[in-house]
Structure 1
């Protein structure tokens, strides 16, 4: 299971954080009810489990469905399922009004974009200038009042999306404590995996992934600093897209580090993930990495989604640190490799992507320093009544320890606060240069050496128990697929690949170089369409 930079399950205390009941509208508990059926809520022909955003648009264009009906259906599902899942922390009190407005726009013949009328859930670290709080999972930010939408939220609204609410997340994106429990926050409680409720959804985009898997929204948005999209996607049988650094702007998002943070979509299928990525992509002058991304995606995402996208491609198989650890992972990955060959890809064995041998030497000093700098800047610029510095947050947590420190401490906060937070410091700059250069070389040299178009590997081990905090020989042995892509700022996509014999989801990762996002989505789509392995969650209390 991954978190913001590496894994909260193993290695040192820093890796745990470096590795990845606050409701605007009340969610009543109906935990004994079954999920509402699509046929009952929306009429024949609209199955929320299998439908894509394109299907929903056609239904609304054909007057078989309205955005208000769709929005109310998702709200009903949240009402019934969220008491078991803890995936949604805030329901937007304006959601139905926004849906009605969208229906009026559609009737006028002036649909704003590809997400017109589509309900979307945001991770609770994304600013919205409305009646929803942005807390990053902490009560310390309940008094924050962002003055404007995050850039990607603005893009969603421009594309016509209905902002349905905020998804729960691992508090402070898994970057407060080395003992963090994935999916827990003081504002939303514990998120549970919809496939087996006593299993972890991974973090830190835990609520976004669980909500997408359970059909609580058409699509959700997460953020990834070191596996926080792809790990939850793997453990919830969803498609998770961690884009190239800056392809989606980070302006208005509670940060860990601008050198790793990457927002991206989580969806039940690759089509919806691609459509949403194109909707939120766009150069942002306020984000230096985003400002350089003009023209990095094709004009139309549909040109990417081809069933034969893998034909003639050279795909490297990265087994070291991934296979020989878990028999279910091995079985599913072997089937994946055979499927790639059946789809016309040339499979290249023996590919290795070496990871940093001593993260404490360069990675930790760099990220801790960046965190203090970036978080202080965000807090200082955000209006409202809340701590304005990392030092202030630490004091707030100590004062409200029964709430904020009830599950784990804040040792990562304290270590970060001891840094200077100075990004001009020569020692820091050397650490960052080494980290980024090594990570990019590890991927680019493997791609060049074997003349590869992409690299595939198992994304993650099966989901552990929900309160798992690390340890065990399997977790120690498994190499994080996101360790290199996060530090390099390279794209990473996880797609459902199969299940353990007990029914826990497993994902496969497609990895490439900078700005290869479109190609990777094409490969993921071809694989997904050929396999069709995804099954709806069963909400089992536990495994036999």
Structure 2
């Protein structure tokens, strides 16, 4: 409210000067008439002003005391207007637990000035230091950004001066190490290979440009299966020459799945607020499943692949890996959209929506979801553990309870034929050779001298201490890709066959025949490949964790392993991403499964925001 020295924000009436008795009478009449009008006007304006002040106090004051306005009219006191702003406000934000902290929780704290983005970066750096190369040696992060603190400081200043750009303003994100960032930032883009160390890319990846525009802080690069798991068939998930063996945080030395292994592990224990992964076939959905995350494999062309070290333009996509579908929707809303450097994005049939508008906990009511029963229960095809099958049945019961109709079975007629086909392998090997050669040629500099796939194979053999240590020598996929003959008749026949198997007699056939809104299956498994070959979306929600007998996945990792989670996949036809996220969200909100199990104790970093604020 204005004090006595401040100018009154509305004009007083002008009264005439009194010169004689007649003027006095006229002035008196004027005064009586106009003062009555003025009194009424004053009351109304005072009421309006009081309302504005009370609203402003309620909305913006954090520790203000209550204010009261009393008005009198005609000798009768009006009811005193009072508002206790403390009672009407949200509770003061507290430091969120970084193991589970969401984007919106962090934004509340940033907006309130409880901490800064610089504090966030410092806290995440400390958490990475605790468990990445020390303690459980999770090796989720391949490098951190030397400019992250400077980025955060600039974004903090901008927030104070003009507010935040988006919900991602000042939020730290880790990128899979096949997503390019400009060399001036001080980070590498290597796909986990020493052959690309200190190479200089021509530009940021398309999704990175969108993240920067939204105000995100690029925290660093996450480890991955080298060249996105397209180097050798006998290499384990999560291993790269540069990053070593990434490990799951839910059981010591457990398989993290891949190829977005580091992104999955980092997101699962809060080494960043959110992470980005890439998928050609299962590389987002599988590590999201194993690491108890919400993962989104978007429709091919919804997010740009420009500036991403490729496997196949026919199948590659970029998507978020997060602890909740709300965070995933926020990130997807930022990174989705057209990019002139990726012509697949130019085929988007609509304006990209705000995916947070899809977050409806009642979205499954009245929907029809199909279960390709013959596929996932047939051990000869998928080999699912009985505990996963039992948990899946429980998930179906929950979906029914949420108002959906489960159509069971809704079998895919092409399933057996698809799973015995070599079409996808041929397509990926041909694409990889052509597109990786293009990547090497696009580099402004590459100190290793590698300029082609053939050079890469030679580099690995010439540097066994870096790229072929004991148990990690295999590069059979690279060799097989180099032997391909380009876009020949066999390649185009394989493309046509996969479209028939994946769409015409696959996903689209089932959706139409059974009048379905989506298909639901456990993840990982048959789901990923069928959707991969036709570029269809998969949205994954954390599901009931499995408990299985321990097995061995590789020289340094185990799988299956007790306590390693699995996910529930919702998939549909192209550009049904908005609908699929709503179904996955409804399931997530009902079950809150992620919260039921934490990582093993040694894998959980101890550093929290209160340890770095004002330190």
Verify same fold: TM over 0.5: yes
TM-aligned CA deviation for residue 523 of structure 1: 0.5
Residue equivalent to 1:399: 462
Alpha-carbon distance change, 437 to 211 in structure 1, aligned in 2, over 3 angstroms: same
2:576 aligns with one of 485, 491, 516 = 516
Question: Is 1:446 paired with 2:505?
Answer: no
Paired with 2:385 and 2:458, the residues of 1 have a C-alpha distance of 43
Paired with 1:111 and 1:358, the residues of 2 have a C-alpha distance of 48
Structure 2 SS opposite 1:538 = coil
TM-aligned CA deviation for residue 433 of structure 1: 2.0
TM-aligned CA deviation for residue 505 of structure 1: 0.7
Structure with greater Cα Rg: 2
TM-aligned CA deviation for residue 359 of structure 1: 5.1
TM-aligned CA deviation for residue 534 of structure 1: 0.8
TM-aligned CA deviation for residue 45 of structure 1: 4.2
Residue equivalent to 1:71: 121
Range with bigger deviation, 58-67 or 370-379: 58-67
Counting only pairs closer than 5 Å after superposition, residues 339-358 of structure 1 correspond to structure 2 as: 339-353=398-412, 354-355=414-415, 356-357=417-418
TM-aligned CA deviation for residue 499 of structure 1: 1.1
CA offsets 1:436-478 (integer angstroms, 9 cap, x no match) = 3321220000001110000111103xxxxxxxxxxxxxxxxxx
CA offsets 1:121-154 (integer angstroms, 9 cap, x no match) = 0000011002100110110000311121001011
Residue equivalent to 2:162: 109
Paired with 1:393 and 1:448, the residues of 2 have a C-alpha distance of 45
1:309 aligns with one of 339, 348, 363 = 363
TM-aligned CA deviation for residue 514 of structure 1: 0.3
**Given that residues 87 and 207 in structure 1 are in contact (C-alpha distance below 8 angstroms), is that contact kept between their aligned partners in structure 2?**
yes
Residue equivalent to 1:428: 491
**Given that residues 197 and 540 in structure 1 are in contact (C-alpha distance below 8 angstroms), is that contact kept between their aligned partners in structure 2?**
no
Question: Is 1:410 paired with 2:469?
Answer: no
2:546 aligns with one of 500, 520, 526 = 500
TM-aligned CA deviation for residue 362 of structure 1: 2.4
Structure 1 SS opposite 2:371 = strand
Residue equivalent to 2:435: 374
Alpha-carbon distance change, 150 to 445 in structure 1, aligned in 2, over 3 angstroms: same
Alpha-carbon distance change, 361 to 330 in structure 1, aligned in 2, over 3 angstroms: closer
Structure 1 SS opposite 2:594 = coil
CA offsets 1:3-59 (integer angstroms, 9 cap, x no match) = xxxxxxxxxxxxxxxxxxxxxxxxxxxxxxxxxxxxxxx993412233321221122
Alpha-carbon distance change, 199 to 342 in structure 1, aligned in 2, over 3 angstroms: same
Paired with 1:221 and 1:95, the residues of 2 have a C-alpha distance of 17
Residue equivalent to 2:593: 533
Paired with 1:214 and 1:43, the residues of 2 have a C-alpha distance of 22
Residue equivalent to 2:176: 123
CA offsets 1:72-109 (integer angstroms, 9 cap, x no match) = 11111111121221000010011111111110110112
Residue equivalent to 1:329: 388
Structure 2 SS opposite 1:320 = helix
Paired with 1:109 and 1:72, the residues of 2 have a C-alpha distance of 24
**Given that residues 234 and 496 in structure 1 are in contact (C-alpha distance below 8 angstroms), is that contact kept between their aligned partners in structure 2?**
yes
**Given that residues 280 and 532 in structure 2 are in contact (C-alpha distance below 8 angstroms), is that contact kept between their aligned partners in structure 1?**
yes
Paired with 1:67 and 1:530, the residues of 2 have a C-alpha distance of 32
Paired with 1:79 and 1:172, the residues of 2 have a C-alpha distance of 25
Structure 2 SS opposite 1:111 = coil
TM-aligned CA deviation for residue 302 of structure 1: 2.5
Question: Is 1:54 paired with 2:104?
Answer: yes
TM-aligned CA deviation for residue 351 of structure 1: 1.4
**Given that residues 93 and 108 in structure 2 are in contact (C-alpha distance below 8 angstroms), is that contact kept between their aligned partners in structure 1?**
no
Paired with 2:122 and 2:598, the residues of 1 have a C-alpha distance of 21
* Stretches of structure 2 lacking an aligned partner (at least 5 in a row): 1-91, 379-383, 548-561, 604-615
Paired with 2:424 and 2:356, the residues of 1 have a C-alpha distance of 38
**Given that residues 296 and 515 in structure 1 are in contact (C-alpha distance below 8 angstroms), is that contact kept between their aligned partners in structure 2?**
no
**Given that residues 113 and 158 in structure 1 are in contact (C-alpha distance below 8 angstroms), is that contact kept between their aligned partners in structure 2?**
no
Paired with 2:372 and 2:121, the residues of 1 have a C-alpha distance of 42
Residue equivalent to 2:336: 281
TM-score (norm 1): 0.85
Alpha-carbon distance change, 133 to 411 in structure 1, aligned in 2, over 3 angstroms: same
Counting only pairs closer than 5 Å after superposition, residues 85-234 of structure 1 correspond to structure 2 as: 85-129=138-182, 130-234=185-289
**Given that residues 100 and 270 in structure 2 are in contact (C-alpha distance below 8 angstroms), is that contact kept between their aligned partners in structure 1?**
no
Residue equivalent to 2:532: 486
**Given that residues 226 and 241 in structure 2 are in contact (C-alpha distance below 8 angstroms), is that contact kept between their aligned partners in structure 1?**
yes
TM-score (norm 2): 0.76
Range with bigger deviation, 321-330 or 100-109: 321-330
CA offsets 1:354-399 (integer angstroms, 9 cap, x no match) = 4344655422222211111111111111121241110110111111
Question: What's the Cα RMSD here?
Answer: 1.8
**Given that residues 491 and 511 in structure 1 are in contact (C-alpha distance below 8 angstroms), is that contact kept between their aligned partners in structure 2?**
yes
More relative contact order, 1 or 2 (CA 8 Å, 6+ apart):
1
